[in-house]
Structure 1
Amino acid sequence: MEGQREKLWSKDFILLTICNLLLFMNLQMMTPAFPAYVSGRFHANDFTVSLVISLFALSAIVARLFSGEALKRGKRNQILIAGLCLALLSSAGYFYSGTIAMLLVMRILFGAGFGMVSTTFPTMTSNIIPPKRMGEGMGYFGLSTSLAMSIAPVIGLGLLGEYGFGTLVAAATVLILLIFPLIRLVRTSGAQPAKTMAASQQAGKVQFFDRAILLPCFLNLLLSITYGGLISFIALFGAEAHLANPGWFFLCNAIAILLVRPVSGKIFDRKGHIAVLIPGALLVLVGLLILSYATTMNVLLISAVFYGLGYGILQPSIQAWIINLVTPEKRGMANAAFLNSIDLGIALGSMLLGVIATATSYPAMYRMSALLMVVFLFVYFLYLAGQAKAKRRKAYLASKELGA
């Protein structure tokens, strides 16, 4: 029985990971194709193009807040089905969006559906992962997102270029359709303990956030700001540095993430977050510094490896840490907060680092971005010092009680 409880690779775990892969494949196939399509089809300016991305992100953030609360109250199936239906209808709706206004409506609807589903999948997964293997399990689950990030943009842009927007929309819609039969095969109830659920419903308190997860969410926000600077400006940085194809940065970055995530998860489970967060932050710091001095493709790819290793260590470890800090019925809220810290960080990184780049240069911007990881380490060390002080005080009071 013990071995069975510790099993990670169950049928439900595999199915949920595949479903998450299909969801993020849809997102990553469409997102990089939209700027080219919108500017070409509607002759839109840069501000309008940015709305296609930003309205989606805002809609997803708001949807996750309410989804986390609904999941806490046991409405998992309703949230999942409603979110999938919204994602399906809006994905198909892109094809019939003859005006920019209608396309923006579809993006808002897709953001809402995506926010609901992307909160539910990791919550369901965290409920079936053995507690002692949470870091490893969330690391493997997160590989679905990393895999989508590495291959979907290439597929999406290829379909757009070769066959047109209609074919791309059809392919993305089919990906969402495939989730419906797969999710029906998942048997886990993801149920909360009856006593905890009853207490939660009786209290009737709406809680979008928990102070217990403030620190890891803030650290994840800092990490995500650096990533926002990468996805927004790496192409412009590459052009300025006369690099042939800076897009290779993301491929090497994704490969490094895929390689390190399973290992870092096991270390997290055995030794805790202190064993992974410090080396992960240092790797990201070094990667950004190397990138800021890149003048050749080899240096660019080396920076991608360092950044990918650090990012692959940090993100799933922070997510597992957040999940471990809350009770089971709050995991939906915790996952929503984790995902929102990513989206908010990327948005802030795109805006704030863009201002810095305009005032200085892209290399200087990436060096400033590296300073965020110094802040990351400083805040984390303050937390560790506070924990150590509290532990010593607790031991001192316990010894005094024994002496009395």
Structure 2
Amino acid sequence: MNHSSERLWTSSFITLTLCNLLLFMGLQMTLSTLPAYAEGTLQASSVQVSLVTSLFALSAIASRLFSGKAMEKGGRNLLIFLGLAVSITAVIGYYWAGSILALLLLRMLFGIGFGMASTAFPTMASDIIPIRRMGEGMGYFGLSTSLAMSAGPLIGLSLLQGPGFGSLLISTAAALVLILPLSYRLTRKLPAHHKEPAAPPVAEIRGGTFRRLFIPCLLNFLLSVSYGGLLGFLALYGAEAHLEHIAYFFLFNAVAIVVVRPLSGKIYDRFGPPALLIPGSLFIVAGLLQLSFASSTAALFPAALCYGIGFGSMQPALQTWMIQSVEPRQRGTANGMFFNSLDLGVAIGTMILGSIALYTSFGVMYRYSALAPVLLLLIYTTLLIAKRYNRQKPAPKNSTSHSVAK
């Protein structure tokens, strides 16, 4: 066995993980703060506040459809640097957005740029990570995403409530600018014209890849619905429930994710998705219900830990499941579908949950959001039971041609 081929922590992997961390940090620092800014400064309605998040997510989805084709044609470097340039331009433009319409247009522009870069980095990671350590490697790589999804809102809300909106934008732009030299160094190390192998025929995609990825995409979509409620409305919920330090939820959530991520990758490699998806769903339900009844900062601690354990273990499991379900040439498609289902869940989640909050309250809204992981759990356990039943179903006695290899 070639021991060097099994190395995970290469310089390329470390640099790539850092780039991904900074990219998602730049996203998350504004994703949770711009809704509060839109309501407080631009006097946006609840529906308009939900559009701040959902329009970004929808534009990122549309961008990835183009980005997947560009990856197949060897346009990796173009996606990275053009995507970063567009994202930085949008962040700078937030400062001069004097109306909700201008802010929404800039959010769509940011989504286009983010969709480009966020397609390239995970696909590069799946190429670098040794096959036998894919679950562990994607767990560590995904830790950068989850850590940013937890620490980013904490930093963003602290900057918005402290130094102000200008400092928030400067910090966000700085995080994105730092990726440029790191990406340049990374692309020089990897093949200069890295190119995904030729795309399979349309019939093969429809009959194989899309069918294999549909279930994990659906589960990822349901997982992301509740997360959209956190990103879009947690700051507003803090004001409603008189929780002055609501941003601590993201801090405690980050701690849980950092602890559980390395373990979840190894659990996945040994036991597969069920060992993470079933308990993870229960943790998320518990976290959302505890959050909806929180009346003090101390009550945020168990809620955030439960949600962080669940989300931090389920998200990389779903991504690794999708990557391992396709041929290497189709990893770009798998990663694109993973992030598209995530963004679609966030987009639809913020719109639906925002409508619920409009007629009830944010606390009640979070209780309703717990239905998404419950549905995820019901769908997945039903599929597992059906699969086990089909395996135990005896083959016809009069024919040996229908036997299936386990």
Please give the range of the TM-score, normalised by the shorter of the 2 chains. Answer: 0.7 to 0.9
Q: CA deviation at 1:166?
A: 4.3
Residue of structure 2 equivalent to 1:366: 366
Residue of structure 1 equivalent to 2:344: 344
Q: CA deviation at 1:393?
A: 5.2
1:294-333 aligned at under 5 Å gives the runs 294-333=294-333
Measure, in 2, the Cα distance between the counterparts of 1:67 and 1:253: 31
Measure, in 1, the Cα distance between the counterparts of 2:161 and 2:241: 27
TM-score (structure 1 length as normaliser): 0.85
Aligned length: 398
Residue of structure 2 equivalent to 1:145: 145
Q: CA deviation at 1:362?
A: 4.7
Q: CA 1:131–1:163 in 2, change beyond 3 Å: closer, same or farther?
A: same
| Structure 2 unpaired stretches of 5+ | none
Pairwise CA RMSD of aligned residues?
3.3
Q: CA 1:296–1:2 in 2, change beyond 3 Å: closer, same or farther?
A: same
Measure, in 1, the Cα distance between the counterparts of 2:322 and 2:398: 29
Which amino acid counterpart does residue 74 of structure 1 have in structure 2?
A: G
- Is the Cα–Cα contact under 8 Å of residues 46 and 354 in structure 2 kept in the other structure? no
- Is the Cα–Cα contact under 8 Å of residues 28 and 149 in structure 1 kept in the other structure? yes
1:380-395 aligned at under 5 Å gives the runs 380-392=380-392
Measure, in 2, the Cα distance between the counterparts of 1:31 and 1:402: 52
Deviations 1:95-137 (A, max 9, x none): 5556665544433222101011011111111111112222211
Q: CA deviation at 1:269?
A: 0.9
183-192 or 140-149: which moved more? 183-192
Q: CA deviation at 1:361?
A: 5.1
Measure, in 1, the Cα distance between the counterparts of 2:244 and 2:220: 32
Q: CA 1:262–1:398 in 2, change beyond 3 Å: closer, same or farther?
A: farther
Residue of structure 2 equivalent to 1:7: 7
SS where residue 175 of structure 1 aligns? helix
TM-score (structure 2 length as normaliser): 0.85
SS where residue 144 of structure 2 aligns? helix
Q: CA deviation at 1:360?
A: 5.0
Measure, in 1, the Cα distance between the counterparts of 2:87 and 2:44: 24
Q: CA 1:94–1:373 in 2, change beyond 3 Å: closer, same or farther?
A: closer
Residue of structure 2 equivalent to 1:188: 190
Deviations 1:345-370 (A, max 9, x none): 12222222334445555554434333
324-333 or 171-180: which moved more? 171-180
SS where residue 185 of structure 1 aligns? helix
- Is the Cα–Cα contact under 8 Å of residues 71 and 329 in structure 1 kept in the other structure? no
Measure, in 2, the Cα distance between the counterparts of 1:170 and 1:296: 32
Deviations 1:202-233 (A, max 9, x none): x4789697221110111111111122233334
Deviations 1:8-38 (A, max 9, x none): 1111110011111111222222334434555
342-351 or 292-301: which moved more? 292-301
Which amino acid counterpart does residue 351 of structure 2 have in structure 1?
A: M
- Is the Cα–Cα contact under 8 Å of residues 54 and 346 in structure 2 kept in the other structure? no
- Tell me the percent identity: 49
SS where residue 370 of structure 2 aligns? helix
Deviations 1:236-288 (A, max 9, x none): 54455554433322211121111101100111011111221111112112223
- Is the Cα–Cα contact under 8 Å of residues 160 and 168 in structure 2 kept in the other structure? yes
Measure, in 1, the Cα distance between the counterparts of 2:35 and 2:237: 19
Q: CA 1:231–1:176 in 2, change beyond 3 Å: closer, same or farther?
A: closer
Q: CA deviation at 1:310?
A: 0.8
Which amino acid counterpart does residue 326 of structure 2 have in structure 1?
A: V
Measure, in 2, the Cα distance between the counterparts of 1:356 and 1:99: 25
| Structure 1 unpaired stretches of 5+ | none
- Is the Cα–Cα contact under 8 Å of residues 52 and 107 in structure 1 kept in the other structure? yes
Residue of structure 1 equivalent to 2:60: 60
Q: CA deviation at 1:78?
A: 2.6
Residue of structure 2 equivalent to 1:232: 232
Measure, in 1, the Cα distance between the counterparts of 2:166 and 2:234: 29
Measure, in 2, the Cα distance between the counterparts of 1:371 and 1:50: 19
Which amino acid counterpart does residue 336 of structure 1 have in structure 2?
A: G
Q: CA 1:31–1:366 in 2, change beyond 3 Å: closer, same or farther?
A: closer
Measure, in 1, the Cα distance between the counterparts of 2:397 and 2:372: 38
Measure, in 2, the Cα distance between the counterparts of 1:340 and 1:164: 32
SS where residue 400 of structure 1 aligns? coil
Q: CA 1:389–1:88 in 2, change beyond 3 Å: closer, same or farther?
A: same
Q: CA 1:105–1:72 in 2, change beyond 3 Å: closer, same or farther?
A: same
